[in-house]
Chain A
């Protein structure tokens, strides 16, 4: 059928095109159908065509009897092409399309037509007259008997219905006229909330939501209508209505709505909260997921309504009583239902009192309890997430929902368990675990899933506990965990470290117990290899650590840092930068020494102040680049003839190479950079490239080879200009600025002249001072597994593969799934790059990524065991204009490259290499 239809459409179409040639109608259409015609002729045709002719022709075509199905396609194509060709005359074309619609009375066609109009309308957001017209058309057809026409009309109204912004310019009267349809559009759409067709009802709500999304203020009057739709028979209507109610609750949280069947009133946000809670026990799970998700973002709701979501029974304070006396009695005998926990406590305690008015629908109570024990895990996850976001904004609620979250640790689906552990970690700042709660939490340490255990360790890192018994309990459980799953060692250590650091006062009283010291007697020195001795020690140490840090950093005082506090370190950093920036010319004597000292200071600072490590490293590297550059420019080669200084030449070229590498590191290894810093880095890189260019020109004979390099360089300069146009004002007197000034000359002159110009510019240009952004983090990675300590070689048969487990933590790496690679370097210089699967990356905490993957090793037979190196690389694409240039070098494994020293093009070393002993054995025949 579809094929047939298509054929019909094309038949019609070719018919059209033949006539079109006679009547001189637009070129584009012709090209589509008759590609053989020459382009030149078409352009002529296009010029010659007047829109009127085309319209006449099309109207003529429209009046011809055509079957509805084929026309639909034709109309669509025609209109869209028409739009492209004569979009200026769009208003006019609307007249035409209106006629068109009258001529053809098929609903299908009409719906399709409206669809096309919608596309036209959305592409012409500034043509008010057109849009006004479109809206009129839509309103006219709203009363169609065919649901799709109504749907499309509503959609059109939603997408184009005018936003009540004051209109600019000439249309003062127009603005007045504009406001009346605004009111109309809303009421028109809301009329269709009661349509007989559920699809139209859905479309109406969606249109309203669309209006909201476009920034139009929706009136509160539709709240009641939207609430009625919550009990619609159709799930898509309910689903949309839930959204609508939520939107309204966000728009008018504080307005007051009456409770039906009484004269009580409550805030709208509370009322809608109750209603959405109610939807958590809806019949359709799609609606349930939606409702649960939306609950998470209703922060303005009153606390007692919020707490009601955790209790299935309607508490007495959420109903109003007529007399104070009755209210008191009600409070006294709270809960008319039994909990079912004890046997025979379910005899009815109280008569139903009809005089009470429920402030909240009793079906809405315990929404989260329902959500958390829902059948579908999608709903449960949504509920857990909603709990999390609500708890983050309300500490008291966090306290209350703790038990429920802890219960979720027992869920049957691991994903849900994991999610609830993560959530608990996120809200852990608000809560302090009691001993019994901690007990339940710690029970999960025995879980056989590694992810769960590690998530729990992570959670323990951030948890506050109340008593010293809790610390001891945690220690015992962690020890148990360690004996059961020795692979957790690192995670457990880290966990204890944080636990100790977090609760120094709680750890202190149990130190003697922990370290099994005795007040009088010297006990034998414990064996630190035994985790049962080591772990308590670790706990104690970490609890003392903050203090120790303080003493250590005071060593810096000599170099100008006052105390070790973060603030003064920051000051120190700033001071250093200012001091360096005072250097106008690096060639002045002493300047280089100062630079060197500053670099050393900064590096030291980075070691001491972990918070500032990123910034300090960044600065140090940048200054190092500058230093190298200055040194390179001071070499004698510039004054001597080329053949005389081959040695210096080599030195400078390595310097240039090094600067280039450093700039890539600066750009891609640090996160949190702003455009300005990136531009500065690029500036340095250009300088390095210029240096390389000059060296090439000097060392090589012949212009040809230089020509290519020159062109490339000029392209780089251009791309710099393109990328950092806005930043240029910051680059006064810089290399780049000067280059750009000279640009017209550069492009015109010969390569050798260019080299000369570059040389002078390079030497004249001032060095750009770095302005630090708020926060810089250096990406780093540590390979935890393999440790590189094993003496036992990993034996396997040559030609086959062996899997090596890699476990690494990455910090502050952006988009690790695509950028982080594993490099394996064999002793013969072979190197392999392995892409870990996206699923191998886990995110245990913000800014941290855990990579647990397997790499496959293989090699031909060796005579004896040898070490291979494994390390992590960060891949980047050097040409920032077009990401991942034609063929990234790290795409394939390479053979025989001298890669041990220099990086592979396009990658940065991210971690220290780890040595693994392997032994491929010859296969037995």
Chain B
């Protein structure tokens, strides 16, 4: 049986370092190539030796697909392509291709320049890696090779995020990457057509959550920020430089404008400006409102939001600061946090998910004293708010996507095992499809039942049409007679005559002959006559002939009567039929065995 094999190298029952290997129809595809935020050692990259046994990856992979530019989905890309070795095509959307190198470069700087790690990829490697990228557009079908084709669908989540349909023949897999089913201030909702893939690989970050209305969250967020600012406190919002940050910026910007507020809003790090530039450019990837109004004013040209300088953190008075990174594990957001943590007037708003082990995770879990490097401890007095702004689909969104795509099988990645388990049960219950959730390195095999396309000759089809009713019922299978010719990798269904002609074969007839003994006192001719009348009464719709040379012919079946030499009353009836009339022939033989009516 043909099957699809899926092996997560990362993100199997885990969040971070997404990297999934898929074998479908003899093709091997790598979906995403991310790094893990929680680790600083070898574990941060997927274990490519699983595939290669220390050789280059090119031989093993037909293509690599990157769903979006977050580092946990593309962070290991230069490592894989340049250090492990891969020269094949890497597919990603245009915005991803534009923004991805900025983030990789930033990541490299932090690791190499700040932490002083060696044996890491270089700027040149990032550039070389990006040369292997093939950009593609939404809903554009790209033929990777003759059999393998991929197609991107809009996924929401971040600018340029896409879901990919991978198709070989009639087998197909859809990989969602990260996606969002509720539109936000700058992006639309994920959408897919009813493509009915054999397997849907979906993220499941919020497998057990059904979020409240987005508007409640927005209102809460604005209210909290507003209150803190009015009180004279400072608000720190750790974000990833790209993605949520832009949404929150638009939210605050419009609020500031509508309410005519004066407190400054800052955005840390220079890379945002570069990235904002891309946001301005890729307007077609944003939501309805931004697309419609950008002629008057591009929403990403902020009036109230200014660039942050390190010295501003000590300024008196209220302010709002967006700082990277989002999980408070390093960098500017952590520095600002240390400065502001002691004042209970200030507020920390965590708008997204925090991986275990990060400072953000600890604070959110209510830790009031933090151990810092060098045995120093930090008292956390400021208010901590968690507000789920991360643009992942919640349980309902996942269900909605399943309903949209109608897959035959489901596979969950990018989530915690315990939560996946819960969602898995839900899915199996609601859709009655099988659902898998492999761990890293564990291979899931899904048996498929691909349909084999066959070319049918028009004549044959027309002949069949003429035989059947006026309108073929599309939903019902129908049997037909024909010859299947398999030649040069092509399958054709033709009429037997044509097949004989094409193959240069002469027709052989296969005939079955059988004798039936019958006690009948009459003469041979009389018996034959009686058989004739009997058959005539039974088989009303068949042509039955009584030929003068002593045979009865029913369609192609020949019936002869001889009396045996020893016993004149014992008549031997000879039946002969061709293979095509097998059914009728066997019917007649049983009929005659039962004897003639007296």
Contacts and interface: CB of A to CB of B under 8 A. Distances in A.
22 contacts: A145-B471, A283-B404, A312-B213, A337-B395, A339-B210, A340-B206, A340-B388, A341-B388, A342-B386, A343-B365, A352-B426, A363-B399, A373-B214, A375-B288, A377-B289, A404-B215, A407-B213, A410-B218, A410-B219, A440-B219, A446-B260, A448-B257
Contacts of A52: none
Nearest to B192: A283
A373 B213 contact: yes
B208 A339 contact: no
A344 B366 CA distance: 10
Contacts of A366: 396
Interface in B393-412: 394-396, 399-400, 403-404
B213 A372 contact: yes
B194 A408 contact: no
A376 B215 contact: no
Given A362-B399, A440-B219, A404 B213 contact: yes
A346 interface: yes
A313 interface: yes
Contacts of B192: 283
Contacts, number: 122
A362 B430 contact: yes
A352 B429 contact: yes
A233 B403 CA distance: 12
B144 interface: no
Interface in B415-439: 418-419, 421-422, 425-426, 429-430
Interface in B84-129: none
Contact of A338 (B208, B214, B216, B259): B208
Contacts of A347: 208, 418-419
Contacts of A338: 208-210
A337 B210 CA distance: 6
B185 A412 contact: yes
A196 B471 CA distance: 10
B206 A412 contact: no
Question: 7 nearest interchain CB pairs?
Answer: A196-B474, A407-B215, A375-B183, A343-B386, A348-B422, A352-B425, A337-B210
Nearest to B406: A231
Greatest chain B CB density within 10 A among A369, A377, A413, A484 is at A369
Greatest chain A CB density within 10 A among B192, B217, B394, B475 is at B394
B213 A369 contact: yes
A343 B364 contact: yes
B316 interface: no
A366 B206 CA distance: 18
A348 B417 CA distance: 11
Contacts of A351: 425
B429 A354 contact: yes
Contacts of A339: 209-212
Contacts of B211: 312, 339-340
A374 interface: yes
Given A143-B470, A347-B418, A412-B289, A341 B257 contact: no
B399 A312 contact: no
B254 interface: yes
A337 B404 contact: no
B278 interface: no
B420 to A, nearest CB: 10
Interface string A231-267: 0010000000000000000000000000000000000
Contact of B183 (A337, A341, A374, A408): A374
Interface residues of A, number: 47
A281 interface: yes
A376 B386 contact: no
Interface string B457-471: 000000000000011
Given A312-B213, A352-B425, 13 more contacts: A281-B403, A312-B211, A337-B208, A339-B212, A343-B365, A346-B209, A363-B399, A363-B403, A373-B183, A374-B183, A375-B188, A403-B216, A410-B218
Contact of A312 (B183, B206, B396, B422): B396
Nearest to A378: B288
A283 B403 CA distance: 9
A337 B209 CA distance: 5
A374 B287 CA distance: 11
B193 A283 contact: yes
Contacts of B388: 340-341
Nearest to A443: B259
Contacts of B214: 373
Contacts of B425: 351-352
A143 B471 contact: yes
A348 B215 contact: no
Interface string A308-341: 0000110000000000000000000000011111
Interface in A343-394: 343-344, 346-348, 351-352, 354, 362-363, 366, 369, 372-377
Interface in B235-267: 254, 257-260
Contacts of B578: none
B182 interface: yes
Contact of A407 (B219, B404, B473): B219
A484 B395 CA distance: 45
B215 A373 contact: yes
A412 B215 CA distance: 11
B138 interface: no
Contacts of A568: none
A446 B219 contact: no
B219 A340 contact: no
B386 A377 contact: no
Interface string B161-192: 00000000000000000000011010011011
A194 interface: yes
A575 interface: no
Contacts of B254: 412
